[in-house]
């Protein structure tokens, strides 16, 4: 039996934004290949305007965020849910809960509701105390109104078990190994191999961008430092202004061309991953898959993925030490190799898509008491 599945809670596919869009791309197309009917909800502002993408149905819903800011996210999620209620989906997969769980009483009543619980959003330092309190409330509502749960990190899974006594299925993100074809496409005239440091992140305080760049700024390194990410928000403008006098630091803006990003990761001397809140981060997995040598912020989320196969930092002084002292020798090559092994066997998309399908079928079977053949 094949199911009619909806994916809500993202700005849409193909990905022009972040993690949930990234995984929705792969999972939706993968489930279609397995014979399911899959619909993804897109913001009407999304650059992709067609009604299908790689066999996935696209529903474009009005999204007033561009007019009224954050409040528009709640309106967008409301519009998506109102549409989903009409379409008789077997399963609704909600990616996150930040602006959707307040509408929990409006979740499609006859659909199996599965929520990917995201990564402790209330811990993000960009939010004020009142917003953090609201996000804790939204998390509680998501637990209340969902029937089944997905955690993309074992840390999140343990948290949900301890806090709410709910079992969630651990399904991480995935990544594709860096291919020989990608190696051949790389233009060495654009970037000298291993001649630069790199970070890729949204410009938010909890991603430790200021700490990383401060450490580099204080170093004696002759290499350049490339920063990938949209700097148009308030924190991005602050960061670019703060380091404007360091010619070595190059702000390259956001880049959603995966082949370019992976080539930059592959050829970097050291890739800095500063994310400190959230589950398994897609850009970290991409860096691992692209054979980057990684320096990561010292926290349980990153350590649960990288283990001992990365350098770690807590502050700018430790970043400076890494910038000035990390070598590319046998030990470092072994770290890269071990991370590739993790991608191959733990974090590859085929495994992730299979896990999503297995869990969706299992949830539907439990809810309806039916035996389903995948």
pLDDT, tens only, 57-84 = 999 999 999 899 889 999 999 999 999 9
**CATH for 180-347?**
3.40.50.2000
Tokens matching residue 81? 């849910």
| Separation in Å, CA 139 to CA 7, 81, 118, 135 | 19, 18, 9, 6
Rounded Cα distance between 340 and 42, Å, is 33
Structural contact between residues 22 and 90, judged by C-beta atoms closer than 8 angstroms: no
Same fold, 4-174+349-372 and 180-347: yes
Rounded Cα distance between 10 and 98, Å, is 11
Q: In 3-state terms, the chain is what percent helix, strand and coil (to 5)?
A: 45, 15, 40
Domain boundaries, the chain: 4-174+349-372, 180-347
Structural contact between residues 323 and 216, judged by C-beta atoms closer than 8 angstroms: yes
Report CA dihedral (296, 279, 183, 331) to the nearest 10 degrees.
40
| Separation in Å, CA 49 to CA 16, 54, 60, 271 | 13, 13, 8, 34
pLDDT, tens only, 269-320 = 999 999 987 777 888 999 999 999 999 999 988 999 999 999 999 999 999 9
Which CATH superfamily groups domain 4-174+349-372?
A: Glycogen Phosphorylase B; (3.40.50.2000)
Question: Which H or E element spans position 297?
Answer: strand 294-297
Rounded Cα distance between 10 and 41, Å, is 7
Tokens matching residue 66? 């561009």
Among 114, 173, 177, 185, which Cα is nearest to 143's? 114
Long-range contacts of 76-84 (CB under 8 A, 24+ apart): 76/43, 77/8, 77/9, 77/103, 78/103, 78/106, 80/8, 80/9, 80/41, 81/8, 81/106, 81/107, 81/108, 82/106, 83/41, 83/59, 84/6, 84/8, 84/41, 84/108, 84/111
What phi and psi, each to the nearest 5 degrees, are found at residue 271?
-100, 120
pLDDT (tens place) for every residue of the chain, 374 residues total: 899 999 999 999 998 887 889 899 999 999 999 999 999 999 999 999 999 999 999 999 999 998 998 899 999 999 999 999 999 999 999 999 989 999 999 999 999 999 999 766 666 666 778 888 888 899 999 999 999 999 998 889 999 999 999 999 999 999 988 877 776 665 555 555 678 999 999 898 889 999 999 999 999 999 999 999 999 999 999 999 999 999 999 999 998 788 888 999 999 999 999 998 777 788 899 999 999 999 999 998 899 999 999 999 999 999 999 999 999 999 999 999 999 999 999 999 999 999 999 999 999 999 987 655 44
Tokens matching residue 371? 């035996």
């Amino acid at each position: 039996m094949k199911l009619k599945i909806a994916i809500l809670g993202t700005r849409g596919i193909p990905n022009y934004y972040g993690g949930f869009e990234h995984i929705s791309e792969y999972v939706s197309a993968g489930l279609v290949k397995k014979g399911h009917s899959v619909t993804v909800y897109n913001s009407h502002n999304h650059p992709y305007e067609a009604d299908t993408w790689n066999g996935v149905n696209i529903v474009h819903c009005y999204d007033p965020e561009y007019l009224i800011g954050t409040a528009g996210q709640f309106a967008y999620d409301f519009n998506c849910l109102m549409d989903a209620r009409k379409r008789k989906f077997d399963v609704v997969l909600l990616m996150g809960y930040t602006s959707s769980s307040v509408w929990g009483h409006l979740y499609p009543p006859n659909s199996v509701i599965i929520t990917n619980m995201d990564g402790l959003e209330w811990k993000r330092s960009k939010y004020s105390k009142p917003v953090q309190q609201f996000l804790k409330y939204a998390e509680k509502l998501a637990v209340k109104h969902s029937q089944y749960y997905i955690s993309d990190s074992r840390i999140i899974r343990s948290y949900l078990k301890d806090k709410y006594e709910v079992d969630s299925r651990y399904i991480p993100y995935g990544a594709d190994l860096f291919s020989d074809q990608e190696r051949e496409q790389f233009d060495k005239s654009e970037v000298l191999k291993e001649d630069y440091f790199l970070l890729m992140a949204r410009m938010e305080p909890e991603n430790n961008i200021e700490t990383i760049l401060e450490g580099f700024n204080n170093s004696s390194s002759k290499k350049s430092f490339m920063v990938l990410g949209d700097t148009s928000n308030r924190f991005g403008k602050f960061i670019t202004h703060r380091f404007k006098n360091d010619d070595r630091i190059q702000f390259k803006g956001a880049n959603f061309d995966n082949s370019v990003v992976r080539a930059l990761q592959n050829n970097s001397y050291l890739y800095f991953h500063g994310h400190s809140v959230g589950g398994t981060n897609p850009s970290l997995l991409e860096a691992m898959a692209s054979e980057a040598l990684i320096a990561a912020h010292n926290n349980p989320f990153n350590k649960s993925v990288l283990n001992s196969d990365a350098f770690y930092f807590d502050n700018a002084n430790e970043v400076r030490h890494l910038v000035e002292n990390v070598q590319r020798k046998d030990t470092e090559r072994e770290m890269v190799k071990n991370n590739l092994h993790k991608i191959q066997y733990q974090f590859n998309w085929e495994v992730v898509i299979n896990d999503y399908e297995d869990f969706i079928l299992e949830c539907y079977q439990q809810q309806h008491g039916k035996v389903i053949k995948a």
